[in-house]
Amino acid sequence: MNFTISSQPKRIASFDDLSVRVYEEDRELAQDAARLARNYLQSRLQQQEIARFVLATGNSQIKFLEAITTEELDEVQAGSSLKGQSTLDWSRIIFFHLDEYLGISEEHPASFHYYLHHKVEQKIPLQKFHYLQGDALQPLEECYRYSNLLRQKPIDLCLLGVGENGHLAFNEPTVADFADSRLVKIVKLEETTRQQQVDSCYFSSLETVPQYAYTLTIPAICSAKKILCLVSGKHKAEVVKTMLHSPININCPASILRKQKQATLFLDRHSASLL
């Protein structure tokens, strides 16, 4: 399929039920995804008292988090009379996150708690951020606790990235289950995923990356009313091609998004280069 790269964000194509948008650069991708996320959360808050928002971490999310937590976005809807203003009431939004390393404390600079506390919680007056406790003394009880929190109300919006092996959250090809009965589970991380954390400079060596992690399961992710998945960079081009063109199965867990009508995939020209 031929793609037209546009600086004006628009839906470029659909792969099965998955909407796909392609941008010239990752900054444009992040700003438009932030705009759409804000608009969606605002629409939910017009219909209900509280919205529930699941965030992802990693380098693919940094520009998005900067954009969505900034009062003034560079781009707003054309013709909006609210340009330069934030209309989103963060105090009515409860946050969750997708995954966390097992046995790591919230003060560890590589923990996702640390990442999200500094990039999100410290910047906006949110109602509550429910964190997975990586260093919980009873990991199975922690899965149970977090699952109960997720069950209280539906997830309104879920942010995702895609790992180089096609994982969503930490649902590796070796442990992903499209029909998982659990919402949160403990998984063993593949060496490729652990090495990716080293390459992204979150850990100094492979030996320092935990071997196990908590993760929201595929059904928990897919239960969200809206899913936005952000993938940028040349190093993700091969997995994007596999995700969109190969059969939908656990060999590439991210391929399940092609069955999610509520999902949108955001790509830059680099990650879309093999399509």
Query: Which residue type is seen at 154?
Result: P
User: Of the candidates 240, 120, 216, which has an alpha carbon nearest to the alpha carbon of residue 168?
Assistant: 216
Does residue 99 carry a catalytic annotation? yes
User: Of the candidates 137, 131, 139, which has an alpha carbon nearest to the alpha carbon of residue 107?
Assistant: 131
3-state secondary structure of 257: helix
Does residue 2 carry a catalytic annotation? no
Q: Which of 28, 100, 165, 171 is catalytic?
A: 165
User: Of the candidates 113, 206, 220, which has an alpha carbon nearest to the alpha carbon of residue 160?
Assistant: 220
Does residue 75 carry a catalytic annotation? no
Q: Which of 167, 190, 268, 270 is catalytic?
A: 167
Does residue 172 carry a catalytic annotation? yes
Q: Which of 26, 28, 32, 99 is catalytic?
A: 99
Produce one character per residue of 137-164: b if its CB has 16 or more CB atoms within 10 Å, e if not.
eebeebbeebbebbeeeebbbbbbbbbe
Q: Which of 172, 190, 268, 270 is catalytic?
A: 172
**Residues with a known catalytic role:** 99, 165, 167, 172
